Structure 1
Amino acid sequence: MDNICFAFIGIHLLFSFFKFSTAVDAITQAQFISDGRGLTSKDGNFELGFFSPANSSSRFLGIWNRKIPLRTVSWIANVHKPINDSSGILMINGSANAVLLSQNTTVVWSSSSSKQSENPILQLLNSGNLVLRDGKDGNSGIFLWQSFDCPIGTVGLSARRVSLSASADVCDSYGLCGAYGVCTINELQVCKCLKGFKPVSPEKWKERDYTQGCERNKPLKCQENTGFIKYVGLKLPDNKNGWVSQGMDMKECKAKCLSNCSCIAFASSDAKGGSACTIWLSDLIDIRRLLNGGGQDLYVRVPDSELGAKNGVKVKIVVIIVAVVFTVSGLLLAAYYIRKNRKMSKEKMDIYGTTGQNNNGPEEDLELPLFKLSTIASATNNFSFNNKLGQGGFGSVYRGVLMDGQEIAVKRLSPNSGQGPNEFKNEVILIAKLQHRNLVRLLGYCIHGEEKLLIYEYMPNRSLDFYIFDQAQGKLLDWRKRFNIILGVARGLLYLHEDSRLRIIHRDLKPSNVLLDKEMNPKISDFGMARTFGGDQTEGVTRRVVGTFGYMAPEYAIDGQFSVKSDVFSFGILMLEIISGKKNRGFYHHGDNLDLVGYAWKLWEEERSQELVDECFRDSCTLLEVLRCIHVSLLCVQKLPEDRPSMSTLILMLGDEKTLPRPKKPRLFIGKHSSEADSSSIKQEISSTNELTISILDAR
């Protein structure tokens, strides 16, 4: 009984400490507010945080007076864009704006300030005013942005009642009717399911809660006959996961949709500039019927059984015609299909290196636009040397410009590259399914004979190694930019490890695989060596050790054991290189012949970690912040995987000011030989299951 009492006392003290530790009134650019945490004004009267109205699971970020017993919200950030789960994050981005992000990193609200600041601070004042100010201005009353100037986000909201629409048009609320629901403003029941669909929750539907949307009466199976139901006068649904192709007419658009098992619907439009085809590859969300005679036609794919009864006479005519055609042309059709199957088998060999490896076919797996070789050749000036951005073991990368003016980067795999057919398919499938602002975006692919091309978004500022390992270029990256790059790469890895549909291990994280956009935001690239895990699987073993020496975790380089903690190790090396401006591989301290990790460990033990900082930014950096990053990097490169932090814990460490645990001694490498007896050998007898990649062992 005494133990139980002590347990309850401990829990009470823990919660008391949590409340005390989170009672802050401001955050900096290195911090963020997640769901369950918030800001409290210094006098304790006002609070900012996430909340859900009664009888609703939607989450909003708002401000309310803590002294009023019945919670009354005075300001809401995402009044028109609720978050459907508890993954919301409030932070200050690289442009010195406060932004609210949902789980898929979509910006649902932004302060949209045009003013710049090197030290922005987001603070909740005693007046209940949320302000974004420059740290150097102190309490001068000069703000970059303030909630008092934004009445559009203000709405009276109690714990019993929600009024989230600032206009009378409820259909303006994004996703009001959920998936496959159509909103009609002049109907008594504003939301109705598309034909062939039914409400997911009829009970909530009767209560006019439509957010769960609709589901199919009968599942859509690729091998069964399907058709389309035409809807006219609609505002087309959100198409963030679909694609648009110019110059494709109605007939071609329909055929394209039917050829792709993942196609849900299509729309074809004709304009002065030519025809265009739009295809949806995921749930249809945010559909509404327009009443002014405008809108477009939408063709929704359904099983034949949902198309309704056909005219009897037409059916008989069709049956007779089909019978005659099959009788007269049977042999010709058989010959045609034999020839077509041979052609498809050859195409599969081009993609996978063997026939019949993928039963579903590349169209179902890749779900990306297939570019013609002539289009890419024209965009890159026939792969001109002047357009060449770089070259590695996999082949070359070229800059290109499409006919519509879009800049692209083309990765052209050489026939003898380390990235073979399996890696090509692996990279296309993985990146096509990944959506994150810190991951490079794949725009399409091209397969033509021996040519295999990947088309990426163009990164004008090249890769991270171009800056941090060059004294002249390194001056372009001050500490604030370097720290933002560290945080961006960390968020990208967190998405791969925990938030994407599959658990993904990159296995080749290094500076040359971190690209920088025009605003110097980092994007992780090159997923040819990545491995995917499903369910609760967290680690694997392989006989084929792929990646780059100098960034491999010791258990992976020696025994072939890899996990999310392998990527954490690589991230620790990356942090040390960003801070020091030195490469881990090939760096040996002249005094004791230690590599970069060993040198960093020695300086840390001797409390001289500041000597590791690159001279390019040593005089302008925040020393405590840099030292904290060095400390975190040493936690990442600890010898045992279980000692290393997860990416979610690591991000909290970087943004917090709590005391960090003491790191354990890493596996030290002296000169070209490990201090550990077994570190120079790589075991080859380990069994491997579900191996996806083959690669050379050197840098690409």
Structure 2
Amino acid sequence: MLTNTRNPWLFSVLLLILSYYIECFSTAGDTLSAAESLSVSESLVSQGSIFELGFFKPGTSSNIYLGIWYKKFDVMVKDISIVWVANRENPLTDPSSSRLELSEDGNLVLLDRSSKKPYWSTNLAFPMSNSTEAIIGGDGNFVLRDRYNLSTIFWESFDHPTDTLLPGGKLRIDKITGKSKQLISWKNSEDPAPGMFSFGLDPNGGSQYVLEWNRSQSYWSSGIWNGRFFNLAPEMKQNSIFNYTFVSNENESYFTYSLNNSTFIPSRFVINISGMIQQQMWLAGHCNWNISWFQPRQKSNVYALCGAFGMSYENVSNPCQCLQGFEPFSVKDTKLYDWSGGCVRKSSLQCEDSMNTNGERDWFLKKSNVRLPVNSKVNLTGSATTCELVCMKNCSCAAYAYNSSSGCMIWEGPLLNLQQLSDGGEAGQDIYLRLSASEHRSTSLRGNKWNVWVIVSVLLPATALLSWLCIWFLSKGKVKPKGEKDSSNDLRLFDFSAEIHAINDASNTKDCLKKRGKKDVELPLFSYESVSATTNNFSDANKLGEGGFGPVYKGKLLKGQEIAVKMLSKRSGQGLEEFRNEITLIAKLQHRNLVRLLGCCIELDENILIYEYMPNRSLDFFLFDPTKKQTLDWRARFQIIEGVAQGLLYLHHYSRILAWLECLEPMKHKQTQIGLLELMGTCLLNMLWRAFSL
């Protein structure tokens, strides 16, 4: 009774085990014959189960491709074992109706049966019999042949490689037809479409192989074959594993390789998505491809590795980044990102945007220690300022560089092959990248907003206070007499970066006798017409505010630099002498943390001062506002305190104004200095208290 109840159960178990082993040990066919077709769920497997031909979806992609891969790795790592793809430029999307079959004329055809649309074909023109068959060989070669005469080969995948050369395959050029075979990289790890990098025989002749970008720009060569190996690729010498061969005769030239070891080792010669050639072997137990050698040795040596407006970096795992003001063309993860698409601008240039009516102009961002892109379009003589103006006037100009030896270089269109060099290595150069005005604004607000500008804004109120104190001091101003004309000082065209240099405070002297008789700092004098033009005729839209001195306007030069224009109100009671004194005073207080006085205008009974424009406003905007002061963390507070301390130290010990005060009569100097320091101390200590008590 017990035996009878167990027999059905034992029979079911044995049947299940038997079916499992039948499935495991059964071998799919390796041949596709006439009137047969291969669906998405089917495959061909070579003798020995080394290679498999079938359909696959790379990564997370929904696209369907016909390809060949190493059979042993299909469960775990099929995606990294693909060695050939048929329809790499024409993926299928419907798995239910996709088929590979032999057509009536003997061609292999990959089609969508529902739409009758062919996605790939061997496309042989000469007549063939209906006795053709397709077979996947143990060497990974997919062959279309005559089944009655197996030596008659009509077509083979080895003659149409994608990114991989298998042992026994040939990378050749037919000298009779002129046709050559190349390895072309995948676009990215999820798209087998042809990428930007290729490897093949030098199109200019010779017996060397070259790596090229866009099938046009060579960036590495193997050197010529010397009978044993290629001169610039010593890794390809004969060794215990691989045997490399180069053959050249009257019909063809080709490179091939084979395995010396009688034991089968999965291997491949591949050009990867980063533009490097690699010799790979599969090592048991590693579950990955081991790289025997590769070229070029540095990723950064690959031409245009990061695409248009991408910057490559040396000795880093992810060497590509978009330049500031640009973003990736693709939204894919950067590990899969097709850098051949490069980067695109976040904001249009002013000259490209016809809807831009706010008058904002493009600007240039300096990038230092870089290897310059190739193919500069213009080479001019002249100054750096001339070079910048020429680029600014040309909307196609994306960047410029200038040095005394090569002069002015300008790049039109996309920047390619821009490389950031490491310190201590090859000497780089400076390049100036053209960006939109909106990017300039975002740049000033990005990063550590409590950096240098905090220290600058600490001293802005101090500068305003000093401008009021200037009426206490008597000195001969170095302003040109009213009415004197200087045609060169058109404010709109003036280049402050070239004309005004930082003052070295350490060189100041307190020797009053020597100091008298020498000229003090002389500022540029600008015409009223040019000043008015920069502020749009002192329009209310450009007005920044108004104080006891008078109104302040925002102005913009033709090169895009922004300025602050301070007008002396006729109601202020301040005369020309006091105005000159203010200019003299502030000119003597130039410091890297102080807003700079750039020039002035005395014309048509108008007294005007030209300052640097500070877009982040004064520190009191944050310190004295009940809401905004809550945004300051303790890191910001300590930086504010440090800036205040630097301001006090500068005014007490290092400013040129103190050396100037000592040149006055002793009593007057004493009274003036006491008043100055008392007022400045009160102002800055008030800020110090505010910073601690937020």
Q: Which TM-score applies when normalising by structure 2? A: 0.31
Which structure: greater strand fraction?
2
Q: Which TM-score applies when normalising by structure 1? A: 0.31
